[in-house]
Amino acid sequence: MDGVVFSIQRFSIHDGPGIRTTVFLKGCSLRCFWCHNPEGMRPKPDIQFFPDRCIGCDECIKICQHGAASRSMGAHIRSRQVRRMR
């Protein structure tokens, strides 16, 4: 069975006694109202972008093989609908 990991939480002390490492997989179909990890609902990998970490070098645009990153009028644009490269 294959799974897409979207987060690994080390030194987790919540949800029970003891210290553990928790691995979060994508594709949860429960859709709980109180869900703390909505990014885990879609089964396919998602592109993540952290604006506070961006230094504006545009390397992500240069290396993206799917055309999901671009820049328009100075703004960094990310598309979840990636294009297939031929």
pLDDT tens digits, 6-53:
889 899 888 778 999 988 889 988 888 888 888 888 888 777 778 888
- How many whole angstroms separate alpha carbon 29 and alpha carbon 23? 17
> Cα(first)–Cα(last) distance of the chain, in Å?
29
Every domain of the chain and the residues it spans: 1-46, 47-86
**pLDDT recorded at residue 81:** 57
- What pTM does this model have? 0.52
What six digits make up the tokens of 49?
């972008």
What one-letter code names the amino acid at 58?
Answer: D
Residues 41 and 21 sit within 8 Å (Cβ to Cβ): no
